[in-house]
Amino acid sequence: MFRFNGSTSSKLSNEKKKAEETATESQATKSSTAMDLILPLRVLVLPLRTFSQLAQKPTAKGLITLAALIVVVSALAQYASATKIILTIDGQLTSFLATSGFSDWLVRTFTSTIIYVLMYWLVFAVGLALTGRFFKGREISLRSSFVILGYLLSVLVVLYAVRVAMYLALPPISFGISSWPPTEKAGIDDAVALMTQTWGPLYVYQFGTYFSLVAFAWLVLLGGIAVKAMREVSWTKASIVSFLGFLFTGLLFGLP
């Protein structure tokens, strides 16, 4: 029969406790990472609580999920819009998707959209961070401000998803041209007029168009909540900071 003295038993107990603590820490880390990755969703559903947590512990993990969502949904929106474009090639009606110019157009449009999103983020983040300093409150680094305010772009995921649904619900339009987009001013004016005439009266198109204004107002609202959480100022000051920051962004880029 084996016998263990007191020191050996205590040593085994300590090792077991350390193993359990390590396992608990590992599970907590995995749980924390999972929660960080869904931050873009939490910002939309529970903005005040989420931004308060981010103000205490800024993390960029959720921006990975957000970037992936923006890339996927914006690409889907471009593709959905292309399905509604019918060209006339050699006297035959041809879907834009079946032409050789579609892939080049998609890459160019997708690239310009991503650059637009990045510039939008840069401008409104700088605007809110710098404007917020005039109202004092809790000091926060510019880097942390960029990370926290980056989660405001979650609104764009919803905006692009609405556009996907809008384009899929719209009827296709037959343009009397052989390539897309038109390059001459007359061709551009004719295309815009035809889209306005065909899609303008439809409620789904009107909803999709006006939703850009809704998304902008949503950004301003969330911006105020983010500033409130970061700087711990009054709601009035936070609202003014958000309004001024996004006003400057809107003047530069228009509605998202």
The alpha carbons of the chain give a radius of gyration, in whole angstroms, of 26
Q: Do 81 and 195 touch, CB atoms closer than 8 A?
A: no
Residue 64 phi, psi dihedral angles, 5° rounding: -65, -50
Spans of all domains in the chain: 38-253
State the angle between helix axes of 6-37 and 61-82 in degrees (0 to 180), rounded to the nearest 10.
30
Percent of the chain predicted with pLDDT > 90? 71
State how far the Cα of 77 lies from the Cα of 167, in Å rounded to an integer: 8
State how far the Cα of 177 lies from the Cα of 97, in Å rounded to an integer: 15
Mean pLDDT of the chain: 88
Q: Please tell me whether residue 138 adopts helix, strand or coil conformation.
A: coil
Q: Do 72 and 160 touch, CB atoms closer than 8 A?
A: no
The reported pLDDT for the residue numbered 34 is 77
The pLDDT confidence band at residue 50, using thresholds 50, 70 and 90, is very high
Q: What is the pLDDT of residues 93-146, one digit of tens each?
A: 999 999 989 999 999 999 999 999 999 999 999 999 888 888 888 888 889 999
State how far the Cα of 50 lies from the Cα of 72, in Å rounded to an integer: 24
Q: Do 83 and 95 touch, CB atoms closer than 8 A?
A: yes
The reported pLDDT for the residue numbered 114 is 93
Q: Is 24 exposed, middle or buried (0-12, 13-18, 19+ CB in 10 A)?
A: exposed
Smallest CA-to-CA distance from 106 within 128, 76, 130 is with 76
CB atoms inside a 10 Å sphere around CB 20: 10
Q: Do 153 and 70 touch, CB atoms closer than 8 A?
A: yes
Tokens 């996004």 belong to: 246
Element (H, E) at 90: none
Overall size of the chain counted in residues: 256
pTM: 0.84
Q: Is 40 exposed, middle or buried (0-12, 13-18, 19+ CB in 10 A)?
A: buried
Element (H, E) at 153: none
Q: Do 155 and 222 touch, CB atoms closer than 8 A?
A: yes
The pLDDT confidence band at residue 28, using thresholds 50, 70 and 90, is very low
